[in-house]
Amino acid sequence: MVIKGDVIVSANDNIPHDQKLDNSITLIQEGYLFIKNRINRYQSDIFKARILGQNVICMSGENAAKVFYDPKRFTRKGAAPYRIQQSLFGVGAIQTLDDQEHRHRKKLFLPYMEIADQKRLGKIVKEEWEKAITKKNKKEINIFEEAGILLCRVACNWVGVPVEASKVSVLAEDFIAMVYAFGAIGPRHWKGRRARNKVENWLEELVKAVRNGKIEINKDSIMYSFTFHRDLDGNLLDNRMVAIEIMNILRPIVAISTYITFMILALHEHPEHVELLRIGTEEDLEAFVEEVRRFYPFGPFLAARVKEDFEWNDCTFNKGTLVLLDVYGTNHDNRIWEDANHFNPRNFHKRTENKYNFIPQGGGDPSSGHRCPGEGITVEVMKSTLDFFVNQVKYEVPAQDLSYPLNEMPTLPKSGFIISNVALTK
């Protein structure tokens, strides 16, 4: 064993071990930068640390992502801490399944996320923005809150979940609480957990009512197909699991409000792009949206466990070890992105497709692996919102706190981004 500065390099595997007895507090203090800071310090794409009392391997970059998405090497079973399942995505949900069972469940989602669905949702969202701004006739709009409510309404209609108009804003708040419980301890975590229990209970009752014929819903709806989906053994999923998987569509659609808020912030911080977006093509809109997903922080890292012992990059990965893939750091890796810490939509002009070096919603192939199936929807919803904000509306940005702390996961501009004197221009 050799000690180099504050890092130990083990003679067994030649990779840096962070010297701290436990890094849990440092992880909370450094947030999105925790892995990146050490990757830079140790000049290594991979290091070992102790987090929450267990040995963890942290890794970053395109090659690390390729390994992480090899299903022969990693399993998701037991990877996500129970407290995250109880708040963010639900106990036993698709995120925790492997192999055949995972692929079978994924087939339930994929047919609703095709290009036609993405375009349709983009169009609906734009119409909803028009209505919201016209109807509001309000002096000020909080982009994050308005987008959350608008997207919640769109998502429930699209999935076919019957919800009273007066309940939409509370439901949107509940989904946001689940998302913002991710890296939290204390009250923020408990708020997310309570919100999840409440919404799961409500949806579970709805599923029961559909199954026993007390409520009739459209047979072509996503809710109907989830309610009557059968697992690999030919059994219906239990009511709770249907509720959880329906929430796995509704919640992330509402969560696009975070990206929308960062996107409006990007327009404010980089006004030099606005004119090009006005006169430009759809590709220009898309490049801006993609740069927002690359540059601004949302998901910090992903977790999986080693399936069988293997060696990679001079490191022994022992079966059962928890491995974290650095999402934020890979999206800010200077080897991949020119001037990675600057916002530059040019990064996405004529970009060659690569499944492992741009991973804001995971990497690899969404149909066979765990990559997010909702990326196309996310991009279309953001594109149509961007188009609306640069071409159809004028607004002012009053003084407010637009800072977004990198040690809160997920983070957000503190004010939620307030615009004032808002009016349609066409």
Residues that bind ligand HEM (CB under 6 A): 94-95, 106, 109, 248-249, 252-253, 255-256, 259, 298-299, 302, 360-362, 370-374, 377-378
Quick one: 149 or 422, whose CB is closer to ligand HEM?
149
| DSSP string over 147-196 | HHHHHHHHHHHHHT----GGGHHHHHHHHHHHHTTTT--THHHHHHHHHH
Quick one: 182 or 317, whose CB is closer to ligand HEM?
182
Q: Supply the minimum distance, in Å, between the C-beta of residue 211 and ligand HEM.
A: 22
Question: What residues contact residue 183 under an 8 Å CB cut-off, 6+ apart?
Answer: 28, 31, 300, 408, 409, 410
Quick one: 129 or 301, whose CB is closer to ligand HEM?
301
By beta carbon distance, the residue nearest ligand HEM is 374
**CA–CA distance, 87 with 247 (Å, rounded to integer):** 12
Q: Supply the minimum distance, in Å, between the C-beta of residue 255 and ligand HEM.
A: 4
H-run or E-run covering 49: strand 46-51
**CA–CA distance, 189 with 171 (Å, rounded to integer):** 17
Q: Supply the minimum distance, in Å, between the C-beta of residue 331 and ligand HEM.
A: 11
Q: Supply the minimum distance, in Å, between the C-beta of residue 376 and ligand HEM.
A: 9
Edge to edge, the sheet with strand 418-424 lists: 140-142, 418-424, 393-396
Quick one: 122 or 345, whose CB is closer to ligand HEM?
122
Quick one: 298 or 317, whose CB is closer to ligand HEM?
298
Answer yes or no: are the C-beta atoms of 168 and 202 closer than 8 Å.
no
Quick one: 17 or 126, whose CB is closer to ligand HEM?
126
Question: What residues contact residue 324 under an 8 Å CB cut-off, 6+ apart?
Answer: 35, 51, 56, 57, 58, 59, 301, 302, 303
End-to-end alpha carbon distance in the chain = 68
Q: Supply the minimum distance, in Å, between the C-beta of residue 377 and ligand HEM.
A: 4
Q: Supply the minimum distance, in Å, between the C-beta of residue 249 and ligand HEM.
A: 5
Q: Supply the minimum distance, in Å, between the C-beta of residue 340 and ligand HEM.
A: 19
Residue type, 173: E
Quick one: 95 or 330, whose CB is closer to ligand HEM?
95
At 5, list the tokens: 């500065």
